[in-house]
Homo-oligomer: A and B are copies of this chain.
Amino acid sequence: MNAAKSIIDMRKIRCELAEPVGFVPTMGYLHEGHLSLIRRAKEENRSVVASLFVNPTQFAPHEDFESYPRDLHHDISLLEGLGIDVIFTPSVTELYPPGFSICIELGKITKRLEGASRPTHFRGVATIVAKLFNIVQPARAYFGQKDAQQLAVIRNMVTDLNMNLEIVSVPTIREPDGLAMSSRNASLNTEQRQAAMVLYQALKLSEILWSKGEKDAEKIRQKMLSLTQQEPLARVDYISVADAETLEELETVKPPALVSIAVKIGGTRLIDNVILS
């Protein structure tokens, strides 16, 4: 396995990789969700590159950039076990040198859901992902369905900027009790971890209601909200039943619909989603 710590190193190694190249951009602190992306990338490509980079520009000043969990040694040992070709660990100063001034802005899709409470988040995501795509030049890049809006934003960027690669979405990996794998789960104490089950319980409820014929999106939202509010540690940020492509809130459920939820438990903000199809 090659380790590329700079853009120049990455470009040099890139020239030697067998085509096609699959790419898994991550912020590190890897869990089963990331590993499933990497396994999928390995199945579908002759070479696989993973990046580990906690991107400061997608965090607002009051958010958890500093406290975002990091464990480079553990990440590297996990990636070695999977037999990927390159670990790319660029530095903040190399990706954002003095004078850096660009940003990639998308439209309405970045203002809803996560974008409503994190107005500069997707600008940061789109910009770093574009930079990494330009450095790694993959044929395919892999993203988890868990970050459904991020996936939609990146698909939009690839289409609108005519980027020459395929975006592959990979199903959410869950703990046995349904909690979606997330690096932020590590910040939960035992009680909070227990409370965090409520996100998936609420999402499951939406699937049950839909399967029983409920098409009124507001009724689904309200029932999910009631269920979530029964958990005293959970503070709901949003519960949404939206068009899966535009992310516009629906009155009547029309599949595929994205049901998504964001909840704060203690100091930790968790998100999850399911598709009604």
Contacts and interface: CB of A to CB of B under 8 A. Distances in A.
Interface string A113-140: 0000000000000110011001101000
B163 A134 contact: yes
A235 to B, nearest CB: 31
A92 interface: no
A188 to B, nearest CB: 36
A62 interface: no
Interface stretch (A44-52, A75-83, A104-112, A190-198): A104-112
A93 interface: no
A161 to B, nearest CB: 6
Nearest to A90: B162
A168 B221 CA distance: 55
A105 B103 contact: yes
Which of A100, A109, A162 has its CB near the most chain B CB atoms (within 10 A)? A162
Contacts of A126: 102
Residue with the highest number of chain B CB atoms closer than 10 Å, among A102, A106, A126, A130: A102
A76 B86 CA distance: 45
A102 B104 contact: yes
Contact of A109 (B101, B137, B164): B101
Contacts of A107: 101-102
Contact of A11 (B106, B135, B137, B164): B164
A236 interface: no
Interface string A192-216: 0000000000000000000000000
A160 B100 contact: yes
Contact of A160 (B11, B101, B106, B163): B101
A7 B159 CA distance: 12
Most B C-beta atoms less than 10 A away, residue of A7, A100, A126, A160: A160
Contacts of A100: 160
A63 to B, nearest CB: 22
A3 interface: no
A134 B104 contact: no
Nearest to A131: B162
A174 to B, nearest CB: 32
A106 B100 CA distance: 9
Given A95-B162, A134-B161, A134-B164, 10 more contacts: A7-B162, A101-B156, A102-B104, A102-B105, A102-B126, A102-B160, A105-B105, A130-B161, A131-B161, A137-B164
